[in-house]
Every structure is written in C-alpha cells, then in structure tokens.
Amino acid sequence: MTDRNHADLRQGIVDTCKEMNRNGLNQGTSGNLSHRIPSGMLITPTSLPYEHMRPDDVVAMDFAANYQGSHRPSSEWRFHRDILRARDDINVVLHTHSTFSTILAVHERGIPCFHYMVAVAGGNDIRCAPYACFGTQALSDYAVNALEGRNACLLGHHGLIVTAQTFEKALWLAVEVETLAKMYVHALAIGEPPRLSETEMAQVHEQMKRMGYGQAPDLDDVGDVPRPVPQPKLAPH
C-alpha cells in the first residue's frame, strides 16, 4: 500500500473541501471527503481545518485500514471505506453537517418526494439513517443501508452523506440535497406538504434518465431536447 501519488486527486480533495466551505455546506473541521484509488482511498485527515489543508495532508488508506500520511485519517474512515467497498459505481464519498439537512436529521426525518428533484438522489426519498456515535462501525452500517439504491442519505442527529463518480457531481448533489432540505423545512412551516405519487415519480426518473439530467448529458443520444448550434462570429467594430 504505497499510494503517495495521485497528485490530481489530492488537489481535487483540497479544492472540493474549500469549495464546501465557500458555498456554506460546511465549516470548521466538520465534514470529510474521500476518493477511490486502486489500493483503497484518499481521505481527508481528521480535525484539520480545510483552509490549512494541502495535498500532502491527504491520507492514503487501504480497505484493511492501513494508512500512510503525516496525519491520521478522518474519524469517519469506516463509512467512507464501507460505502466505496459496497458501491463500485461511485468514486467519491462526501460528508457535511450542512444546516438544513442536519435540521431534518436531528428530527430523524428524511426527505420525502414533496418535490420532484428528490429523484436526483436516485429514488423516491432521501432516507435518514438511525443515530449512532460518529466514527463507529454502527454508524457505517446504518449509512450503507440508508444509501441502498440512493446517492444521498441523512445521518440521524449528525448530517448528510452524498456519493458520486466525481468531485464535481458530489458537490452538485450536496448542494441540491441541502436546497431540498431547506425547501422542505420551510414547507413544513405551513404543514406537511403533499407527496408526488409513485407514478409521477416514475415519470420524473424516466425524464431524468432520458435527458441525462444532472449527468452532463450527451445530447446526441436523446430525442426532442434543444441542441446547441454554433454561434455566428460577431464582426469586429
């Protein structure tokens, strides 16, 4: 286990963490981020504020929990490892304590299909895993279960996890889920909102698949969607 390289992924972890702080998804030393590598994963070090984190601070860890680096790995290495191990369709696990997702999680509530965008997490709801202490195997087991068929889940009395193939998609999804959580919390102020039906959600999933929604669509592969045409060059003044 000698992954000291992967300079681009190390830089990607640093950049993504800083972006999480900039866009308000995270603050202080809460949250963590990992990316799959052939020998296991790269993961943020524990308790190091993102403003001070450099690519060399990122820890390389195999799935047997051997690690290399000048810092200890995130206290949540178990759920990062277990999710990456359980899901070979994803490369990135991102965890935040973003405010509105956590407001729902402290009430042990997930996000139902009150809005069609819930489908971007892969199903008809975003589940909330039961509470377990941070850094434990129990928390990891609950998280893996809550992510079954999904790319996002809340963690009871704790925060949010999203999974994706790339850093960009993970950040995008985290912002979408946090926005849904914010909308749901506000919607609850005037009562529990009605839910979309199974049929309506099935249509949303189908439409998202057809349009490659949120997946950097390849417009040549789909039907009646707008296509970009080359812009005529403007004559110089």
Q: Give the footprint of ligand 13P on this chain (CB under 6 A).
A: 29-32, 44, 46-47, 74-76, 95, 134
Dist. CA 178–CA 155, nearest whole Å: 13
Cβ atoms of 132 and 220 within 8 Å: the answer is no
**Hey, what are 89's tokens?**
């369709």
> Tokens for 94?
């991102």
Of 76, 108, 168, 192, which one is the catalytic site residue? 76
Given the complex with ligand 13P, which of 75 and 197 has the nearer CB atom? 75
Residue 48 or 173: which CB sits closer to ligand 13P?
A: 48
Identify the sign of the CA torsion 153, 154, 158, 164: positive
Residue closer to ligand 13P, measured from CB, 46 or 203: 46
Nearer to ligand 13P, 49 or 200 (CB): 49
Query: What is the smallest separation between the CB atom of 160 and ligand 13P, expressed in angstroms?
Result: 10
Least distance between ligand 13P and beta carbon 91 (Å): 18
Q: How far is the CB of 43 from ligand 13P (least distance, A)?
A: 8
Q: Which of 189, 177, 207 is nearest to 115 (CA)?
A: 177
The yes-or-no answer on residue 192 being catalytic is no
Which amino acid is it at 86?
A
- 8 Å CB contact between 176 and 112: no
In whole angstroms, how close is the CB of 222 to ligand 13P at the nearest point? 39
The catalytic residue positions are: 76
